[in-house]
Amino acid sequence: MLLIVEDITKEIKQRYDVDLNSYANKLLISTINKRMFKLDFTMQQTYLDFFHTDPDEAVVLLQQIGVNVSSFFRNPMVYSILEQRILPELIERKRKQGLNEIRIWSAGCASGEEPYSIAILIHQLLKKSFKQWRIHIFATDIDRESLNQAVQGTFSRDRLQDTRLGIYDAYFTRVDAGYSLAPEVRQMVNFSFEDLLSSGKVAPAASIFGSFDLILCRNVLIYFNKSAQKVAIQKFIKTLTSKSYLILGESECIDKNLKSAFMEIDIINRIYKTK
């Protein structure tokens, strides 16, 4: 199976410039086995031949590897900390500095629920002064189909299961395809294709300056091997500004050799703050 993994990762790198060598072999093998089962292939070579002849199969594999399970305000405790503590602190600090710009990066954004949730919280916190601020939320992923869905801004009811009724009423409209997010929130987020492990860029190209007050990368690093995790964290360290925040998934943590750049403030939810 490892030979097939090597062949497939090489092909995907050539076609889409996405390097899967940094993903855990266990994840890649599991994904390929699931595809073989779904397609009723019992021989590895048969699936490999299919992969090389069907132009859509590589895209399907990338989508499966992405494990794009997302919803608005997923893990409410994290969003509670953001709403009550982190974002108000960030806004107040900017005001004291005479600044009106906030820059956020959602790395591994799937179909947009995470960055849109952040945008909603900021919109609520700023209220009438919202138009006086420049809010830049950059959201990236390697799944182009999910990014396209995010841009459309329409979601099924199950994606709103953790959304408070007041937010639901204020920001979503029922349409034939599901629930459409308010245009003023959608306009706050810039979506783009980015491979977090690419050596060519440190931050999303659209961000230009490549510095952020807040970075979210939740439940992404768990799919990377140790060396790939280090690459991603080093990127974050380079792009976080003074007293900014990095939020990882509950089961993810920073390697002890890199942790000196942070002051950990919430071990349960893996929220880190730069010194």
- In the block, which residue shows the tokens 């002849």? 53
Q: Can you tell me whether residue 179 is helix, strand or coil?
A: strand
111: confidence class by pLDDT, cuts 50, 70, 90:
very high
The verdict on 56 and 127 lying in the same domain is no
- Tell me the C-alpha distance between 33 and 31, whole Å: 5
The gap from C-alpha 84 to its chain's centroid, in whole angstroms, comes to 22
269 contacts: CB under 8 Å, gap ≥ 6: 75, 77, 78, 81, 247, 250
The verdict on 107 and 185 lying in the same domain is yes
The verdict on 86 and 221 lying in the same domain is yes
Domain boundary among 43, 66, 89: 66
Of residues 261 and 147, more confidence is placed in: 147
Range of the domain at 204: 76-274
The verdict on 132 and 246 lying in the same domain is yes
The gap from C-alpha 74 to its chain's centroid, in whole angstroms, comes to 13
The verdict on 43 and 170 lying in the same domain is no
The verdict on 104 and 240 lying in the same domain is yes
Number of domains in the chain: 2
Domain boundary among 66, 97, 122: 66
CATH code for position 216: 3.40.50.150
pLDDT at residue 135, rounded to an integer: 97
Please report which residue ranges of 97-164 form alpha helices under DSSP H: 113-126, 144-152
The verdict on 95 and 23 lying in the same domain is no
Domain boundary among 66, 99, 117: 66
Q: Residue 71: inside a domain, yes or no?
A: no
The verdict on 222 and 86 lying in the same domain is yes
Residue 65: is its pLDDT beyond 80? no
Beta carbons of 242 and 263 less than 8 angstroms apart: no
The verdict on 60 and 80 lying in the same domain is no
Q: Can you tell me whether residue 273 is helix, strand or coil?
A: strand
The verdict on 153 and 256 lying in the same domain is yes
17: confidence class by pLDDT, cuts 50, 70, 90:
low
The verdict on 172 and 253 lying in the same domain is yes
Other C-beta atoms closer than 10 Å to the C-beta of 164 total 14
pLDDT in tens, 188-213: 999 999 988 887 789 998 898 789 99
